[in-house]
A and B are shown apart, each in its own frame.
Chain A
Amino acid sequence: MTGPTRIWRSSLRWASTPTASPSNGAAWSQAAGNGTGFDVIAITDHIINSDCVIGRFAGYSNQTVTRGNFDEYMAQVASEAARAWERYRMLVIPGAEITKDYFREKDAAHLLLLGVSRFVSADQPWEAILSQGREQGALIVACHPHRTDHEVIDTLYFWNNREKYAHWFDAWEVANRTDLFAVVSLNNYPIIANSDFHKAKHLYSWKTLLPCEKTLDSVMACIRDNRGVAITLFRNGTSKD
C-alpha cells in the first residue's frame, strides 16, 4: 500500500459556549469523544476586538479570552487534551479564534490560530496578528470567509482582500457547519472544514478528513500541505440522523 491507510476524521474548531469562557473543556471533548469517533479536534475560543460595541459587550459579559485569562484557558485546554487522549485517543489542538466583529460585513473577519501558545490580541492590525501567529508557528485559517446561513453579520474582509492576505493563510474554511463556500474551492485555496461548534446541533456538520499520523505536527503539516485533505458531512455516519 503506497497511499495512506487511514484518514483521521477531525472536527476542527470547537469553541466554548458563550457563557463559559475560558472553555469548559470537559463538555466539548466529551461530546466529541463519546461514540462519535473523532480523532482530532481543536479548541478555539474567541479573542474579540474591543474597538466596537460588539466586542466590548463580549468583554463585559466574560465571553472572550483576554490577556488576563489566556494562561488559564491554555492550561484548561492542555488538561483536557491529556484527558481526551487518555480516554478517547483523541488529539486536542489548542487554538484561538481571533475575532474582529464590526457592524459592516466588509470590515468584519475571523481567523483561527491553531497550535497557538501565546496570547495574540485582536486589538491590532491584521498584519500584526498574522505575523504574531506565524512567529508562533501556528496554523492560520480564514474562517467562514464568504456568505453564511448562520452569521448575523457575515465576515467578508479577508475574502474582499484575498489578494493581499491569501499568502498568510495555511487554509481557508471551505465549509463551516452546514455552509459550503464553493468560491474557496474555485480559487484553489487550501481547504478545511470546521464545525464552529457552539451548540450540540453543530456536531452534525462538515468535517475534515486528514490522511496523516495522529500527532499535532503531522496534522498541522497535513493541513498546510493540503494534499489528500477531504471534507465530509457528518450525520453520525448516515443521513438518518
Chain B
Amino acid sequence: MLTTILEGMLAASAATSLLQLGCTAWALAKGSRKATRGVAHLPPVSILKPLKGVDDGLMDNLESFCNLDYPEFEIVFCLQSPSDPALRVVRKVAERHPGCDIRVVIGHCFDGMNPKVNNMIPGYLESRHPFVLISDSNVRVRPDYLRKAIVYFADPEVGMVNHLVRGIGARTLGARLENGHLNGFILGSIATMDGMFDLPCVVGKSMLMRKTDLGGIGGLHEVRDFLAEDYVLGRLVRKAGKRIVISADAVDNVNRYRTIREFLSRHARWNRMRLAIAGPGYLSEIFANPVFFALLLLLASGGSREATMAAGAVVLCKFGTDLAMGMLLGAPDALRLALAGPLRDLMVAGIWFSAFFSRTVTWRGRVLRITRRSRLVPVGETSDAGIFGARPGTPKEVAA
C-alpha cells in the first residue's frame, strides 16, 4: 500500500519536474518574442544597488550596469557603512566609468527589521528619476536589459517588471548546488506559477517600477519589516490593481565560490520564508523533488528490483530535465549542475523539512522571528554584530 502511494507520488513528482521544464521553455520563448518589439519612449531610470560586502564578481556585476545601452539612467549605490569593502569597488567602478551617472549613499537607516530595505531607503529618497529599478549586487545584466524591461510599461496596467534569475559562474560544489537550485527549482517554479496559474512570484533580484506606483503603495517603508520584501511589494502592487510581468529575459546571478554551508543556510531561510507566506501551499513544493520520493520508495520497498528501476528512471528523468533546463538557459556548465542534481535534491528535501521546526533567522547579529507573510519580529540579539558593526537600533543609543 505504502509503496503504491509512493509510486504515485513519484510519478506526480516527475510530472511536476517536466511541467516546470515546459513552463520555463514557454516563458523563455514568449520572452524572446516580446523582446523583439521596440519602444519609442525610454524614460529615465534610477537603479538602486544595495551593497553589503564583496560578492562574487562584484566589479563585473556593477560594471554591467554602467554598460547599459539606455539613454538616461543613474546608479545609486547604497551602503550602510563607510567601512564596507564594497565602497572601494564602487569607487573603482566610478573611476572607470566617468560618463556614467553614479551616486553613492551611505545611510544610517535602521527603520525596519529588513537590513536590505534599510540600506535602500536613503538612496531611494535621494534618487531622481521617475522609474526605479531595484537590483541586487550579485546580479549581472546584458546591455539591452533595461530597454527590454521598460517595453512592458507601455501598458499602463503594468505596475512591476520582475525578471527570471539564472545562476552562473559556479566554481565550487556549494556554488553548483546554489546555481542548480536557482535554475531548476526556483526559476522553474516562478515560470510555472506565472504561466499556469497567473500567480507571479516576485524575486527581488531585479524589480522595475514606476516611482508613482511604489509611492502609491507606501514606498519602501511599507515593506521594511518583512523578510520577503519582494513578495510583499508584488502583493501590494497587485492589490493596487496593477499587473506584474515576469520577464523571461533572465538576469544572471553570479555565484562563484559559495560554500555548501552558505547554500544550506540561505535556502533554509528562504524555505522558512515561503512557509510563512504560503502556509499549506508550501507542502506542494516537495512534489518538485522526485529524487526525494525515489529515495523514499527505495527505502519503503526494501530495495526491490521494480522500485529500484522506477526510482532510477525517475532520477534519470530529473537529471534530464535539469540538463535541459540548464541548456535552455544557456548555462555553460549545465552538465555539471545537472550532475550535482541528485545530491542537491536530497539536501533540499532536508531543508524543506527543517522549515517546519524553526521560524527564526539570524540576520546581521539579530535573531528575528518570521511571522505571517514573512513579517519579522525581533527575538533577541546575538553577540556578533557583524564586522561592519551595523547593529540595528539608533546609533545614538549604541553610542550612549
Contact = CB atoms under 8 A, between A and B. Distances in A.
Given A3-B121, A3-B219, A190-B396, A182 B111 contact: no
B103 A186 contact: no
Contact of A228 (B98, B106, B122): B122
Given A186-B81, A186-B388, A238-B74, A211 B102 contact: no
A68 B106 CA distance: 41
Given A2-B218, A233-B104, A225 B394 contact: yes
B125 A209 contact: yes
A187 B399 CA distance: 7
Contacts of A166: 399
Contacts of B396: 190, 224-226
Interface string B161-174: 00000000000000
Among B87, B101, B396: residue with most chain A CB under 10 A: B396
B292 interface: no
B125 A7 contact: yes
A187 to B, nearest CB: 7
Given A3-B111, A211-B122, A232 B104 contact: yes
Interface in B57-90: 74, 81-83, 87
A108 interface: no
B400 interface: yes
Given A3-B111, A230-B122, A186 B83 contact: yes
B30 interface: no
B215 to A, nearest CB: 6
Interface string A220-237: 000011111111110101
Contacts of B94: 239
A239 B400 contact: no
A224 B397 CA distance: 11
A185 B105 CA distance: 14
B101 A186 contact: no
B372 interface: no
B110 interface: yes
Interface string A43-71: 00000000000000000000000000000
Interface stretch (A21-29, A98-106, A127-135, A173-181): A173-181
A227 B394 CA distance: 6
B102 A186 contact: no
B391 to A, nearest CB: 6
A153 B24 CA distance: 63
Interface residues of B, number: 43
A231 B109 CA distance: 11
Nearest to B108: A229
Contact of A7 (B99, B126, B394, B398): B126
Nearest to B385: A188
Given A1-B219, A174-B82, A227-B110, A188 B398 contact: yes
Interface string A1-35: 11111110100000000000000000000000000
A167 interface: yes
Contacts of B109: 227-230
A5 B102 CA distance: 22
Contacts of B123: 230
B222 interface: yes
Interface in B348-400: 388-389, 391, 394-396, 398-400
Nearest to A193: B106
A188 B126 CA distance: 23
Interface string B157-189: 000000000000000000000000000000000
Contact of A6 (B100, B125, B395, B398): B125
A189 interface: yes
A48 to B, nearest CB: 28
Contacts of A190: 108, 394-396, 399
A240 B97 CA distance: 9
Interface in B201-249: 215, 218-222, 224
A141 interface: no
Nearest to A211: B125
B93 to A, nearest CB: 9
Given A175-B82, A228-B111, A238-B101, A188 B122 contact: no
Contact of B83 (A6, A175, A182, A239): A182
Given A185-B81, A209-B122, A239-B100, 10 more contacts: A3-B221, A9-B126, A180-B87, A185-B83, A226-B108, A226-B396, A228-B121, A237-B128, A238-B100, A240-B99
Interface of A: 1-7, 9, 166-167, 174-175, 180-191, 209, 211, 224-233, 235, 237-240
Interface of B: 74, 81-83, 87, 94, 97-111, 121-123, 125-126, 128, 215, 218-222, 224, 388-389, 391, 394-396, 398-400
8 contacts: A2-B218, A188-B399, A189-B399, A190-B399, A230-B122, A232-B106, A238-B74, A239-B97
